[in-house]
Amino acid sequence: MNTKLYNRLNQLAENLNRREDCLGLLALGSCADIDRMDEWSDLDFFVIVDKDKQITYLNNLDWLESCAPLAYVFRNTKDGHKIMWEDGIYAEYAVFEYDQMNQIPFSKGQFIFKKMGYPLMDTPKMEYPELSQSIDYAINEVLTNLYVGLSRYHRGETLSAFRLIQVHAIDRILSMNRSSLHKDYDNFSLDRRVEFNHPELISFLKKSHLGYSSILESANVILEYIKTITDLNPMMVHEIERLINLS
C-alpha cells in the first residue's frame, strides 16, 4: 500500500466532510482498492456536491490546498482537473452534483465518506463502453487497418501508418482477448494490466511494437499472428503481403 497516497486521500476526506455542501468522496481505480495502491499509483476520485455547487468547487480550489499547496493545475475536462501538490502527489478528479451521478459511466469505486440521507451509489447506472469485440469483427478490423496503414506508408504518411498498424490494429487484437475469466480489466482502456491478464501476449507485443521506423516489419508480425487465430480472407492477405514486400 502507498501510505502517502492513503493518508492524503483520508486527509482530503476529513476536510471535505466538514463542508455542508459536500456530500461524498468516491475513490476510483487503485484508490478504491488498497491492495493495488502501490508506489506508481496516483489519486483518482469524484467529489459529489450539492445542487448548484459544482462551479464553486471547480473554480475555488481551497478544498485541495487545505491538504497542501498546489504546484500544478490543469482543467482537462468541464468537470475536473489534473493536479499535483507541492509534495509530489498527483491526482485526477471530477466534481459532480448529486443529480448528475446517474448520467455518467465510471468504474466501481469506494466511498471514503458519504453524507446520510443521500442514496449515493459506488456503482454507475450508466453502462460502460463496450470494449470487447468478436473474433470475426476484430480480425477484419485488423486486416483493414493493415491494408490502409501500409498504403499510407507507401504514400509517405508514416505516422498515420504507424498508428493504424501498431496502435489501432493492436487494440483490436486486445479487444478480442478480453475474457470474463479476468475481473480486473479497466472498463475504459484496452491496454491497462494486459501483462497481468494476458502474459501469453507479451512475446507478440514485443515483436509487433517496433516503432515508427519499422512499419513493414510490424505489419508482417501482426499478419502472421492473426493467421494463427482463424482463416483469413485470401484476397486481403494477398494484398497486405504485396504491400509488405513492395520495395
CATH number of the domain bearing residue 105: 3.30.460.10
146 and 82 within one domain? no
**Among 11-15, 36-40, 112-116, 172-176, where is mean pLDDT lowest?**
36-40
Work out the average pLDDT over 126-152.
79
- Indicate the DSSP class of residue 103: G
203 and 143 within one domain? yes
139 and 110 within one domain? no
125 lies in some domain:
no
213 and 176 within one domain? yes
Q: Which of 85, 114, 143 is the last residue in one of the domains?
A: 114
99 lies in some domain:
yes
23 lies in some domain:
yes
169 lies in some domain:
yes
Work out the average pLDDT over 90-116.
86
140 and 106 within one domain? no
Q: Which residue stretches of 30-166 are H helix? A: 54-59, 62-65, 135-155, 158-163
pLDDT at 150 (0 to 100): 95
- Cell (9 digits) for 94: 471530477
141 and 84 within one domain? no
Containing domain of residue 58, as a range?
Answer: 3-114
Band of residue 124 on the pLDDT scale cut at 50, 70, 90: low
| Residue 70, pLDDT above cutoff 80 | yes
Please count the structural domains in the chain: 2
128 lies in some domain:
no
Average pLDDT, the chain: 87
119 lies in some domain:
no
User: Distance (Å, rounded) from C-alpha 198 to C-alpha 235?
Assistant: 31
pLDDT digits (tens, 9 = 90+) for 42-53: 899 999 999 999
Q: Which residue stretches of the chain are H helix? A: 3-17, 54-59, 62-65, 135-155, 158-163, 169-175, 194-197, 202-208, 215-227, 234-245
Q: Is 156 exposed, middle or buried (0-12, 13-18, 19+ CB in 10 A)?
A: exposed
Band of residue 181 on the pLDDT scale cut at 50, 70, 90: very low
Q: Taking the mean position of all CA atoms in its chain, how far away is CA 166?
A: 18
73 lies in some domain:
yes
Helices 135-155 and 215-227: crossing angle in degrees, nearest 10, is 160
Q: pTM for the complete prediction? A: 0.66
Residues 6+ apart with CB under 8 A from 81: 58, 61, 73, 74, 75, 92, 93
| Residue 174, pLDDT above cutoff 50 | yes
96 lies in some domain:
yes
| Residue 131, pLDDT above cutoff 50 | no
